[in-house]
Structures are given as C-alpha cells and as structure tokens.
Chains A and B, each alone.
Chain A
C-alpha cells in the first residue's frame, strides 16, 4: 500500500509538473519600461475602457475629459481633478497586479478599469 501511494504520488507530481512546463507561455520578453497612454473620458465613458499595462511598467496617463470630474483609481488610490481643456498627466509605477476600477469620484460611477498584468 505504501509503495502504491508513493508511486501514485510520483506520477501525480510528474503530471502536474509536466503539464505546467508544456502549457506555460514563455515569460514576457519585454522588460518593464515606460508606458505613455492617452485616456479620454467622454460622456461618462472612458476610452480605452480598460487600460492595460504590465507589472513594473512606469505608466503615464494623459487624461482628457469633456466635463470636470475627480478621477479615482482604486487600489493605487490615485485621485486627480481633471478639467476640460486641460489634459492632465497622472504618473505611477505599476507595482500592484490586478484589475483596478477607475471611477468618477463625485458621482461614484465606474468609468472603466486599470488592468496590471503580472509578469
């Protein structure tokens, strides 16, 4: 019985390890770098609706809006007053991974999300 359990445990480890090696995609070739993205808020919607960056990137968002609002990024806890006619730069390092909702802090309406992919 003990032999059987050991053999089965070994087979399981081989299966789990082997599958992992086969299926795992190659690690991201690009190293963390500077990303500059334009973000437009129009009529309560954000374009792009999902801001995608990678972990470790140094991100600068150039935000324009049609109406004055206070933009709040959850998780990173970034808050900026954005005025129309005044493109605003928001800079941060993407050290937290996950999906972080971006909202209009005054109306609490969700505009979109910031997605930081792990490496």
Chain B
C-alpha cells in the first residue's frame, strides 16, 4: 500500500516539474517594489565604528568570567493558564493547523486560477512577504511557529491517520532507513533550490509558478516522508524545518521535555546532559503534561548549544549566512560591474546572462564565504589550544546567525510594512476577480508608511545590535572551548574580526545605491 502511494507521489513530482519548464516569465508590476534610500555614508561609518567599539565593551563584560556551564535563566510559561489554554490545548492547536492548511490550499488555488498580476493575487504576497519575511521574523523573535503549523507535515500527518483508520495498520510508516551519511544534505540541496527561486528565477512572483513550485515541493516532501518517516524527513530533508529550526535557536522561547524516558523513546533528538531535550517537537507532543515546559529565555542562548552539529549542519548554516548576504549583493553596482567584467571573459548569453551568472554566484559566494570562514576558525583553533576544527566551526557558525538575521530584518522589514499591506485588500479579493468578501478590497497601500530616515536608523540599529549579540556568543563559545583561561581572549580575536568584517559588509550593502 505504502509503495503505491510513494509511486504516485514520485510521478506527480515529475509531472509538476515538467509543467514548470513551460512557465513563462512575467512582469512583477507593483510587487516587491522598494522605496528605501541607501544608507548615507556618515551613518554607515557610524554603524561600523559603533560595532567595533561595542565589541570591546562586550569583552569588558566577560573579564574574570569563568562560568561555562551553558545554563541560562528560564521561566516556564505553562504556569499561566492563558498559555496552557492555548499552546497546550489540543483543540486550539488543531484549529491553528486547520488554518495553516487552509491558507496553503488558498495559495495553491489562487496561484493556479487567480489573476496573474502579482500585486492582485493572494499567493505572491502571502508566500514572499507574509510567510518568508514575516514568519522568519516571528520565529526568530518569538518562537518556532513553523513546528506547530507546517502544512506539509500536517497534511502528511492527517493522511497517515486516515490511512490507519482505513485499516492499514502501519499507516504510511517507512521501511527504509535514512542513510546516516545523507545527514541534512538533502535539506541543504532543497534550500539551495529555494534560494535560487527566490533570488535568481525571474518568474518567482508569478502566481502560477508559486503554485506549481509549492506543489512540487510538497511532492518531494511527502515522498521523503513516506520513504524515510515523517520525523526523520523533517529533521534531515525538509528545508524549511531545518532553516526555521536554526532561526528558532535565536528566539526567546523554547519547548523542553524534562523526562529522559520520553526522550529515550524519541531516539532522534539530541538529549541534553540532564535527561532533557530542547526543541524536540516529537518529544514535546508525546510527553506527559508534567514533563513539558514552554520556557521564556534570553534571546540567542539557543545558539550556544551546537554540540553534535555535523559537517552538513555547518554547511547549512554557512549557506544560510552567505545567501542572505548574496541577496543584498545582487542589487549593488559592484555586482553589476563584476558581471560585466566576467562577461568579457566568460561570454555574454544575452537574456540568459543574469540567470547564468546569478546561479554561478549562488554556488560560488557560499563557497568563498566558507573558505574565508574556515580560515578564521582555523586561526581560532590554533590560538585556543586545539579544540576540534568542526566542533569550533559549528559553534562559531551559530554565533554568526545574529548578524545574518539582523541584516535580513534590516533589509526586509520595509517590504513587510509596504507590500505586507497588500494582505488587507487581498483577504477580500484573493483571486483578483473583483470580490469584496470583507469590504477591504478597495484598500490602497500606503508606500510611505515610514519615512526614509526612520528606515535608515532602524537598519543601522538592527545591524549593530546583531553584531553585539554575535560577539557576546563568540566570547561564550571561546570561554567554553579554549583549553585554558589565558587563551580565551586570544582565541576569539579572529572570530570577532570576522564578525566586524561581516557586519561592515552588511552595512556597506545597505549604503549602496539600488540597481534595478
């Protein structure tokens, strides 16, 4: 039975991929329009200088500190009846999951059948603005709502239960063990494909393409789940679960199971030293209420627990960091002139040039990033007394996440504020057919909801804040990994230098004139 389902899923993947080839590029009129001005030079210098000087202040905070236990203050929110009545309440969670699947279905339907002008269709705004930008920020700043409301997981879960109820005892259980060596490489490959669609593919704003791509991704995900098991695929192959899982480490909330017994059954999560596991959603779903905690915690501390991160995991984080920077780099005059020079060497391909060089860049920039990063990690290793290279690489990669997150927030929050307003009229007219379900279809978004100066200051503030948090994390990592207290300061200097470079690069990108 399961194999028949698998066969169908794989076949539909093939069909959908083929139809994508036939998709035509479309003009993304009015969608994704940016009104930001480049950050002026004086403010760019201010940001850079602040980042450098505040790095020293962070050092000052750590003088004489010896605590490397990695513990952090926590407060269990499940004490509050309100939280128990919502997050721990099955009916509430079920309602959220139904809404998530309904929105997903709406994206597919409006994408396939609705008005194909991006600004008039629910799909582009919902996917690129509300979900990709909005949900990323919610997950980083509040908590991992994707783990709760992942439509791919929900639909598979429902299908599994249905199949079981129809008499097939093992449901959609896998009988293929996931090859250990694959690790999170499948998730990285899929995330690369997603980044390509987001940054390079000219038709990424076309509603129909969005629907096709969503269906394609669903097929791949469900195929993966049916072959290897839902939980395994979520952790190893589902690109967004892995991505949002990393962002969720920054968040000031976590879920925790305080019973080793429950975690032992799970077998997949990395169990913390005291028989507890953090952010293992399977364990949380299966543990008894007295062993479950939803904790408030200081932001970014989740990024300190990098034990067990593998080579593939490091690669994933590095790709995340590099692709965020690459996103900004693509719109700079520097990049345009670079392509121009490359074209005289490697040839111009007419209209396909930007596609060709863009794709090349998407592969090359992360590799360059990784090489540079590895060099700095090596220096840290040599100065710190020789902790394992990949162990250090994993720990420090996580400590860089706040810088990437800050850049992403700085770069995209205005998009959320301007194009995000589209959702107001789109809820009344999702297909762009002239409906007016809630009376808001006549709403005209105000593109100047915030002034250019406010945007500048916010962007620089975010970037400097991200940098300070990153340096804080790097210092904590160094404290933990250096073989003797005397080496702590020295061993992290290369990493702090790299962070300054990364932060200054982010600021530089924001100060560049925008090339359309």
Interface residues of A (CB under 8 A from B): 4-5, 8, 11-12, 15-16, 19-20, 23-25, 74-75, 96-101, 108, 110, 115-118
Number of B residues contacting the other chain (C-beta, 8 Å)?
A: 26
7 contacts between A and B (CB under 8 A): A4-B60, A8-B57, A19-B50, A23-B43, A98-B451, A98-B452, A100-B35
Interchain CB contact under 8 A, A108 and B29? yes
**B92 at interface, CB cutoff 8 A:** no
Q: What residues of chain A lie closer than 8 Å to B514, measured between beta carbons? A: 99
**Cβ B451 vs Cβ A97 within 8 A:** yes
Residues on the B chain within 8 Å of A108, using CB = 27, 29
Of all chain B residues, the one with the shortest Cβ separation from A96 is: B448
**In the assembled complex, which residues on chain B have CB atoms less than 8 Å from the CB atom of A115?**
37
B448 touches A23 (CB 8 A): no
**In the complex, what's the smallest C-beta–C-beta distance from A84 to chain B, in angstroms?**
25
B479 to chain A, nearest CB (A): 16
Residues of A within 8 A of B455 (CB): 98
Q: CA separation between A24 and B60, bound complex, in Å? A: 27
Beyond the given pairs A4-B61, A108-B27, 11 more chain A to chain B contacts, judged by CB atoms under 8 angstroms and listed by A's residue number, are A8-B60, A11-B60, A19-B53, A23-B42, A23-B45, A74-B33, A96-B451, A97-B452, A98-B455, A108-B29, A118-B37
Max count, chain A CB within 10 A of own CB: residue among B34, B36, B447? B447
| Closest-CB distance, A10 to chain B (whole angstroms) | 10
Q: What's the nearest-Cβ distance from chain A to residue B403, in Å?
A: 18
Q: Which residues of chain A have C-beta atoms less than 8 A from B46's C-beta?
A: 19-20, 23-24
B50 and A98: CB pair below 8 A?
A: no
B37 x A98 contact (CB < 8 A):
yes
Instruction: Please name all residues of chain B whose beta carbon is closer than 8 Å to the beta carbon of A12 when the two chains form the complex.
Output: 54, 57
Residue among B34, B35, B42 having the largest count of chain A Cβ atoms under 10 Å:
B35
Contact A11 B452, CB 8 Å, known A98-B37, A99-B35, A101-B33 = no
Q: How far is the CA of A118 from the CA of B34 in the complex (A)?
A: 16
9 smallest CB-CB distances across A and B, nearest first, come from: A97-B452, A96-B448, A98-B35, A118-B453, A98-B452, A97-B451, A75-B447, A23-B46, A15-B53
Nearest CB of chain A from residue B442's CB, rounded to whole Å: 14
In the complex formed, the residue of A with least CB distance to B53 is: A15
B35 in contact with A15 (CB, 8 Å): no
* Option from A4, A16, A25, A117 in Cβ contact (under 8 Å) with B50: A16
CB distance from A17 to the nearest CB of B (A): 10
* B290 within 8 Å of A (CB atoms): no
B169 — which chain A residues lie within 8 A by C-beta?
none
Q: Which residue of A lies closest to B37 (CB)?
A: A99
Bound complex: CA of A115 vs CA of B29, how far in Å? 20
Specify which chain B residues have a CB less than 8 angstroms from the CB of A20 in the assembled complex: 46
Q: Is B516 an interface residue (CB 8 A)?
A: yes
Q: B60 contacts which chain A residues (CB < 8 A)? A: 4, 8, 11
- B45: which A residues are within 8 A, CB to CB? 23
Contacts of A116 in B (CB 8 A): 452
CB distance from B446 to the nearest CB of A (A): 9
Q: Which of B35, B50, B57, B451 has a CB less than 8 Å from the CB of A118?
A: B451
Which residue of B49, B61, B516 is within 8 Å of A110 (Cβ)?
B516
Q: Are B42 and A75 in contact (CB under 8 A)?
A: no
For residue A100, which residue of chain B has the nearest CB?
Answer: B35
Residue of A nearest to B516 (CB): A110
A79 to B240, CA, bound (A): 42
Complex: A118 Cα to B453 Cα, angstroms: 6
Contacts of B53 in A (CB 8 A): 15, 19
- A118 to B50 Cα, complex, angstroms: 23
Contacts of B57 in A (CB 8 A): 8, 11-12, 15
Residues of B within 8 A of A16 (CB): 50, 54
Least CB distance, A22 to chain B, in whole angstroms:
9
Closest to A97 in B: B452
Contacts of B50 in A (CB 8 A): 15-16, 19
A41 shortest CB reach to chain B, Å: 17
**Which of chain B's residues have a CB closer than 8 A to the CB of A101?**
33, 516
Point out the residues of chain B lying under 8 angstroms from A97, CB to CB: 37, 448, 451-453
CB of A94, distance to nearest CB on chain B (Å):
11
Chain B hits for A96, CB < 8 A = 447-448, 451
C-alpha gap A5/B57 in the complex (Å): 10
Which A residue sits closest to B58, measured CB to CB? A8
Point out the residues of chain A lying under 8 angstroms from B49, CB to CB: 19, 23
Instruction: Scan B9-42; emit 1 where CB is below 8 A from any A CB, else 0.
Output: 0000000000000000001010001111100001
Within the assembled complex, what's the spacing in Å between the Cα atoms of A74 and B37?
14
Contacts of A23 in B (CB 8 A): 42-43, 45-46, 49
Cα A76 to Cα B65 with chains together (Å): 55
Please report the C-alpha to C-alpha distance between residue A101 and residue B31 in the assembled complex, in whole angstroms. Answer: 13
Contacts of A118 in B (CB 8 A): 37, 451-453
Residues from chain B with Cβ under 8 Å of A75 in the complex: 35, 447-448
Q: Which residues of A contact B451 (CB under 8 A)?
A: 96-98, 118
Asked whether B447 lies within 8 Å of A74 as measured between CB atoms, the reply is yes
Q: In the bound complex, what is the Cα–Cα distance between A2 and B451 (angstroms)? A: 38
List chain A residues, Cβ under 8 A from B43: 23
In angstroms, Cα B451 to Cα A100, docked, is 12
